């Protein structure tokens, strides 16, 4: 695999998202930031309600307003802040330079339009060409993502495809204009294990061939480990740990990351009940001034209740928002 460029393609800084009335907002994403290089894959992982999907929608400027709004931060693609662009300019970038594969393909695809027409619609919007050339490009994309006999499946409808094939169509649609950044939100969640592996292998192959940078969002660290270079762990709308993929598995620093790793099925826990992190993710209105993981944490300390921990630099590109991890790193 080729090494990613040193200069970030995408920069996210202090991203904040709120819902509800402006005089009493609920913050669901708070201070998220990361860099993404060309050809790199970053995995964003966390339980439902951690803010992963909201972060991805904000990068695409797809937060529904109202009731939501991007309350602060920057999302820079090659130096341009996407959050400050006019709506028409962002519409031109969305799909052409930064594209997204949504979680459930059946609800994302139009059931009364053929597959070819839906992919062709993306090309028509961003890359005007003759109808004949557009048809060739659609066939080319369907072949690229592994749809058998693409020239024969061009005029089929979504319900005529399996779940895995529909997800491939979504990927073909997202990649039709050769975007620089692909955001994939839980692209394998609704698929069985075999098809999951095929979709991940497809994304790895496309990344290698097209040098596309990928943001892969999942609740499953096992899925992330198969493709990502680096991992961002989110909890209650905040980044609680970030590290290279090998370091996350070899020496996780945050207790929440440790819990996620223990929850991954493996041969060693075959026949036994899977580990489950005790408690539940607190809702935005129930989050106090201290660490949001306090009630579920086996390493909690009194100081954790006083203020939310910042991301402490632990060295080797790893950081964790944990007072205990920071103390252990200097001891």
Q: pLDDT tens across 26-57, in order?
A: 999 999 999 999 999 999 999 988 999 999 99
Q: What is the mean pLDDT of residues 185-201?
A: 83
pLDDT at 188 (0 to 100)? 81
CA distance 180 to 36: 11
pLDDT at 164 (0 to 100)? 85
To the nearest 10°, report the CA torsion of 95, 99, 100, 105: 50
pLDDT at 3 (0 to 100)? 46
Which one has a higher pLDDT value, 10 or 222?
10
For residue 166, pLDDT beyond 60: yes
What percent of the chain has pLDDT above 70?
95
For residue 2, pLDDT beyond 50: no
Return the top range by mean pLDDT from 4-18, 266-280, 282-296.
Answer: 282-296
Tokens for 207?
């990344």
Domains (range + CATH), the chain: 8-97+179-266+274-330 (3.40.50.300)
For 227, phi then psi, to 5°, come to -140, -30
pLDDT at 312 (0 to 100)? 97
Kindly report the number of other CB atoms within 10 A of residue 149's CB atom. 10
Tokens for 35?
């860099």
- Those residues with Cβ within 8 angstroms of residue 322's Cβ, 6 or more apart along the chain or in another chain: 240, 241, 253, 254, 255, 291, 299, 309, 312
For residue 270, pLDDT beyond 60: no
For residue 269, pLDDT beyond 60: no
Structure confidence by residue, pLDDT tens digits, 233-267:
999 999 999 999 999 999 999 999 999 999 887 65
pLDDT at 199 (0 to 100)? 84
pLDDT at 268 (0 to 100)? 57
For residue 156, pLDDT beyond 80: yes
Strands 312-315 and 318-320: antiparallel
pLDDT at 30 (0 to 100)? 96
At 127, the pLDDT band (50, 70, 90 cuts) reads confident
pLDDT at 273 (0 to 100)? 75
pLDDT at 119 (0 to 100)? 92
Structure confidence by residue, pLDDT tens digits, 279-327:
999 999 889 999 999 999 999 999 999 999 999 999 989 999 999 999 9
Nearest residue to 318 via CA among 240, 259, 256, 217? 240
Return the top range by mean pLDDT from 12-16, 122-126, 275-279.
Answer: 12-16
Distances (CA, A) of 177 to 66, 163, 233: 30, 23, 30
At 1, the pLDDT band (50, 70, 90 cuts) reads very low
Stretch among 9-23, 192-206, 246-260 having the lowest mean pLDDT:
192-206
């Amino acid at each position: 695999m080729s090494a990613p460029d040193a200069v970030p393609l995408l920069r996210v800084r202090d991203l904040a998202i709120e819902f509800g009335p402006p005089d009493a907002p609920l913050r669901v994403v708070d201070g998220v930031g990361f860099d993404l290089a060309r050809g790199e894959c970053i995995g964003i992982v966390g339980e439902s309600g951690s803010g992963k999907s909201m972060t991805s929608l904000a990068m695409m400027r797809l937060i529904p307003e109202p009731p939501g709004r991007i309350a602060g931060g920057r999302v820079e693609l090659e130096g341009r802040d996407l959050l400050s662009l006019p709506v028409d300019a962002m519409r031109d970038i969305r799909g052409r330079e930064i594209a997204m594969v949504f979680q459930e393909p059946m609800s994302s695809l139009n059931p009364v339009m053929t597959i070819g027409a839906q992919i062709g619609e993306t090309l028509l919007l961003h890359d005007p060409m003759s109808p004949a050339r557009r048809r060739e490009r659609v066939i080319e994309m369907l072949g690229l993502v592994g749809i058998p006999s693409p020239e024969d499946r061009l005029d089929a409808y979504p319900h005529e495809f399996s779940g895995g094939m529909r997800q491939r169509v979504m990927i073909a649609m997202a990649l039709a204009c050769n975007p620089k950044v692909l955001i994939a939100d839980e692209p394998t969640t609704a698929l069985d294990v075999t098809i999951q592996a095929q979709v991940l292998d497809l994304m790895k192959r496309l990344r290698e061939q097209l040098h596309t940078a990928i943001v892969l969002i999942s609740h499953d660290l096992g899925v992330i480990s198969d493709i990502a270079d680096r991992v961002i762990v989110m909890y209650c709308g905040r980044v609680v740990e970030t590290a290279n993929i090998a370091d996350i598995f070899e020496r996780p620093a945050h207790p929440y990351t440790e819990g996620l790793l223990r929850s991954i099925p493996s041969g060693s826990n075959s026949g036994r009940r899977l580990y489950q992190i005790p408690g539940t993710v607190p809702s935005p209105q129930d989050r106090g001034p201290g660490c949001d993981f306090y009630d579920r944490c086996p390493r909690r300390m009194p100081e954790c209740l006083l203020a939310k921990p910042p991301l402490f630099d632990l060295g080797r590109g790893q950081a964790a928002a944990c007072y205990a991890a920071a103390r252990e790193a200097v001891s």
